[in-house]
Chain A
Amino acid sequence: MSDEPLQEFSLQLLRQGDRAEIARLVDAYSAQIYRLALKMLSNPQDAEDVLQNTFMKALQALPNFEGRSNLSTWLYRIAVNEALMLIRRSKPEVDVTFRSEDADEDEPALTSFTDWCCLPEGELMSSEAQKYLDEAVGMLSEKLRFVFILRDLEGLSIHETSEALDISEATVKTRLLRARLKLREMLSVYYGERLTE
């Protein structure tokens, strides 16, 4: 993971409810979980709700945590579930069943062959472009967006992403490719317009 906290935690102390150790755990992972929730939900209030609920649930479940996955992947998994519950409550019409088949997702189509890589870094990374990068991620379906956020923005491995979302590694790979290709198409249109300006 990109910024996995370096400190070790005593599972024994955490399971016993040692408050100092719990506070250390919360401080080590709260920024990651908050950032993840912000990216998934694009709303600071929702992100804060997910952050609080994630740690509430984690503390309740700690006595039974067996340590089969690492603590951060486990926390990510709880946070993803909390974010999904929030989405289901606010948008009940959206199917965010992560384990369902992907037949409803289009096969990736390549329509843009403009080479915009030569644009200067200042243009590629302008504040307007960064805003568009965020908007483009927001346009992906939940299934594709969550995989892209965990793998490419948060830097989880394919295996960790599959654990956090409770889907197979093959599904992670399929969704990741689709997400990346869709974003490439959107960015090609956006930067292609800047090439001709």
Chain B
Amino acid sequence: MKDDLNCGAFLKELSDYVDGVLGEALCAELERHIADCDDCRVVVDTLKKTIYLYHETSSVQTKIPIDVRKRLFHRLNLEDFIAN
């Protein structure tokens, strides 16, 4: 990394930056840093990709297995609503 101080400060703001909630001024400052620091650019790109991959794989919504639902309704004394 090019400059320890800048890279260290950059690291603390990273989550807010990739979530798009970092203030405009700080955001511009970080983007200037990334343009100048190849290691930090790679960190940002691979961090965004990491989060993206987890979002993509978790968006497949697991349905509750039928027998698990059935046992849950029994445990809650809601047997008469199982068929709904």
Contacts and interface: CB of A to CB of B under 8 A. Distances in A.
Q: Do A and B come from one complex?
A: yes
B32 interface: no
Given A26-B78, A31-B64, A51-B72, A115 B58 contact: no
A52 interface: yes
Interface of B: 1, 11-12, 14-16, 18, 38-39, 42-43, 45-47, 49-51, 53-59, 61-64, 68-69, 71-73, 75-76, 78, 80-81, 84
Contacts of B12: 177
Given A19-B78, A51-B64, A173-B16, 16 more contacts: A26-B73, A31-B62, A34-B62, A35-B61, A38-B62, A55-B75, A59-B76, A110-B43, A113-B39, A116-B49, A129-B53, A130-B57, A152-B58, A176-B15, A187-B46, A187-B53
B61 A184 contact: no
8 contacts: A30-B69, A38-B62, A48-B68, A55-B72, A110-B1, A114-B46, A152-B55, A180-B51
Contacts of B59: 2
Contacts of A188: 46
A22 B79 CA distance: 12
A27 interface: yes
B45 A117 contact: yes
Interface in A26-65: 26-27, 30-31, 34-35, 38, 48, 51-52, 55-56, 59
